[in-house]
Structure 1
Amino acid sequence: MESEEMGIFERYLTVWVILCIITGVGIGQFIPAFPALLNRLQYAQVSLPVAVLIWLMIYPMMLRIDFSSIIRATREIKGLAVTCGTNWLIKPFTMYIVASFFLLGVFSNLIPPELGREYLAGAVLLGAAPCTAMVFVWSSLTRGDPAYTLVQVAVNDIILLFAYAPIVAFLLGIGNIQVPYDTLILSVVLFVVVPLLAGYFTRRRLITSRGPEYFQEFLGKFENITVMGLLLTLIIIFSFQGRVIIENPLHICLIAVPLIIQTFLIFTVAYLWARIWRLRHAVAAPAALIGASNFFELAVAVAISLFGLQSGAALATVVGVLVEVPVMLTLVRIANATRDRFPA
């Protein structure tokens, strides 16, 4: 389980993202040869440098998942019902509704229709991917039950393997966004299945051969690699997105509106559901926070794979990263302030 205090990268993630935006835009404008070079380093429409960085983001998180903990799931079956019901039966669909309402409706005079649909696609990719990493931080900041948090992450990862691609394809189809199934499935295989299996077998082998203490030391080597991989990926993305941002800086704020509203909405639904069922706060808080937070590393990866580095979808997922930390810290404060409304 992670420390109860966020590291400097996690605590100031929004600041680092803003710096990455400035750096990436500057590179795109003043060193155009850099994105041009990256554009040539592709295979099957997948940027090879970005693919490597994405693996650096996702693999360390998969190492942390102890799937043997699923056998403890029956101890908190109501909490898992809240988590799974919110994440897979509600969240993807409310994200589509809220994002469509704003990006294709309220803001239609400010965002061209085609670009609005790309932003919607990015929002859908975020909404269909519940958090698997930062939720450990949010849980510890609310004094959540670490065993339950681990179990809910493991269960969500298993559901993710089977449900992510169909839900995304369905919602994007409704929005008249053409996405080839084979590309989507390949993205899930590359950025979920393969790192998940690699993490599982690495964890199993190291614990069996060297012991759990050595495994924890090995895990410590990846302390900041995930965030560093994310930040370098953002610099690359924004080196391609520079012109769009310079010409439409307002779009960043417009994309953030539905993402923020959706985050508060999902937290409220899950948190109230947990309160109605009288779940203890140590379960209710992480159950609500995992749905409110997003597996943005996966969303960024799939957006790049499906739509490209220069797409509006990729930009929308990055805006999700930008708003994630300040919004989630606000929800953590709300959860801590309402602790006495739940059973001890």
Structure 2
Amino acid sequence: MTKTQRATHAPQLGVADRLLPLWILAAMGLGLAIAALLPEVGRFLQAFEIGSVSVPIAFGLLVMMYPVLAKVRYSDVRTVAGDKRLLWSSLVLNWLVGPALMFTLAWLLLPDLPEYRTGLIVVGLARCIAMVMIWNDLACGDREAAAFLVAINSVFQVVAFGALGWFYLQVLPAWLGLSTTSASFSFWAITASVLVFLGIPLATGYLSRRVGEAKRGREWYESVFLPRVSPFALYGLLFTIVLLFSLQGQQVIDHPVDVTSIALPLLAYFALMFAIGFLTGKAVGLPYARTSTLAFTAAGNNFELAIAVAVGTFGAASGEALAGIVGPLIEVPVLVGLVYVSLWLRGRIFPTSGTLAKHPAAHDTHPESIEAKELA
């Protein structure tokens, strides 16, 4: 394939998509500015919590995830469940490779910083169930597969998070002759994170499609309703990022050197997990859409849960909490960059992958996005 042919086959991003990194950087900058100049805003927002769940952040995530989950064709999800290659690859990557890789990187790169090391291990245990839907959509991944995998991750998160925390913080270090960390994780914090950050948008997305198609038909739902609600995915994403950095940004500002120390293993983790996920998908014979979904669900982390667990277990001023807070500071721009990497790889590794999606008209994240309308 010539360079000209590759350019023809490459997905073309709309104006809003091409500027997405700038919007996200601007949202992060605004949040940090609010944290530095108006700290009372952060204290005001912290007053709105139910247990370990921040109500404003939960609202932002609901607004962000609802359009994506409203686009899922739930009748097609059952076909995804039968894809054993995708299911087993995801389980191995998320619950064996991911935590083990973060444990290794934390010990290799932060051997003398036990609090930050523990915080990173907690981040590695919190598998992504929220923002991965946005990155997957932007990369033209399989939306039904993403919904299925985040649901599986949610179940495993509730069941396995505490046991894995005990293993990676106490059992494995003891076996290796390393120092151990004692921690007890709140079952409520884990369950609440899953129910709020996935359960609510999943239920509303499913109901809107069920009711909309029943009353007006699928054509109206996907050609009229979805384009109207799609822009709110971007609005919710930016709103959530501003809130996160408004609430937690002061700690980032107060510890710039420590943030750099924490950032290095995080950068390595996100890049390696994405690469491993992408190569695994290709190796087991998955098409591009599911390979991309596999890579992003493996690379992303549930930083909302990681922060809640770190704060609840070790305290808001702890190094463990700071490591959790730095998580989204690094994850958001890196995974946005990996969206572009995924789309670039698509035309080179999957040159005969055909259309971007089974139902491209419903794949837009916002009206200006044309990436899902392009044919390969």
* TM-score relative to the length of structure 2: 0.73
RMSD: 3.3
Structure 1 range deviating more: 174-183 or 125-134: 125-134
Mapped to 2, the partners of 1:274 and 1:237 lie a distance apart of 32
1:296-325 deviation line (CA, Å, top 9, x unaligned): 998243335444588332431342112102
1:206 matched residue in structure 2: 212
Instruction: Give 1:67-78 correspondences, 5 Å limit.
Output: 67-73=74-80
2:340 matched residue in structure 1: 329
Mapped to 2, the partners of 1:38 and 1:192 lie a distance apart of 21
Mapped to 2, the partners of 1:15 and 1:290 lie a distance apart of 24
CA contact (8 A) 2:99 2:125 kept: yes
Aligned mate of 1:60, from 67, 71, 78:
67
Structure 1 range deviating more: 58-67 or 250-259: 250-259
Q: Is residue 2:74 matched to residue 1:81?
A: no
Instruction: Give 1:281-300 correspondences, 5 Å limit.
Output: 283-294=286-297, 299-300=302-303
Letter matched to residue 149 of structure 2: N
Letter matched to residue 110 of structure 2: F
2:122 matched residue in structure 1: 121
Mapped to 1, the partners of 2:131 and 2:39 lie a distance apart of 35
CA contact (8 A) 1:99 1:120 kept: yes
1:156 matched residue in structure 2: 149
How far the C-alpha of 1:221 sits from its partner, in A, is 2.2
Aligned mate of 1:186, from 181, 192, 195:
192
Q: Is residue 2:158 matched to residue 1:165?
A: yes
2:43 matched residue in structure 1: 36
How far the C-alpha of 1:215 sits from its partner, in A, is 1.6
CA contact (8 A) 2:36 2:253 kept: no
1:40-59 deviation line (CA, Å, top 9, x unaligned): 22222322222211211222
1:225 matched residue in structure 2: 232
Letter matched to residue 347 of structure 2: N
How far the C-alpha of 1:272 sits from its partner, in A, is 4.4
Mapped to 2, the partners of 1:242 and 1:156 lie a distance apart of 31
How far the C-alpha of 1:5 sits from its partner, in A, is 4.3
The alignment covers a number of residue pairs equal to 323
Gaps of 5+ in 2: 1-10, 170-180, 355-376
Mapped to 2, the partners of 1:270 and 1:37 lie a distance apart of 40
261 and 307 in structure 1: CA distance in 2 versus 1, 3 angstrom threshold: closer
CA contact (8 A) 2:109 2:265 kept: no
92 and 18 in structure 1: CA distance in 2 versus 1, 3 angstrom threshold: farther
1:2-51 deviation line (CA, Å, top 9, x unaligned): xx544445434333332223222221121111112112222223222222
129 and 53 in structure 1: CA distance in 2 versus 1, 3 angstrom threshold: closer
CA contact (8 A) 1:128 1:167 kept: no
Mapped to 1, the partners of 2:271 and 2:220 lie a distance apart of 40
CA contact (8 A) 2:122 2:310 kept: no
Mapped to 1, the partners of 2:86 and 2:326 lie a distance apart of 28
Gaps of 5+ in 1: 141-148
2:249 matched residue in structure 1: 242
60 and 301 in structure 1: CA distance in 2 versus 1, 3 angstrom threshold: farther
How far the C-alpha of 1:101 sits from its partner, in A, is 2.4
72 and 296 in structure 1: CA distance in 2 versus 1, 3 angstrom threshold: closer
CA contact (8 A) 2:101 2:269 kept: yes
Question: Matched residues, percent identical?
Answer: 18
CA contact (8 A) 2:130 2:197 kept: no
57 and 128 in structure 1: CA distance in 2 versus 1, 3 angstrom threshold: closer
1:175-226 deviation line (CA, Å, top 9, x unaligned): 3443211221122112222321221112101110112233222222222222
1:319 matched residue in structure 2: 330
Mapped to 2, the partners of 1:13 and 1:206 lie a distance apart of 30
CA contact (8 A) 1:128 1:168 kept: no
Mapped to 2, the partners of 1:338 and 1:170 lie a distance apart of 38
CA contact (8 A) 1:98 1:262 kept: yes
Mapped to 2, the partners of 1:155 and 1:45 lie a distance apart of 26
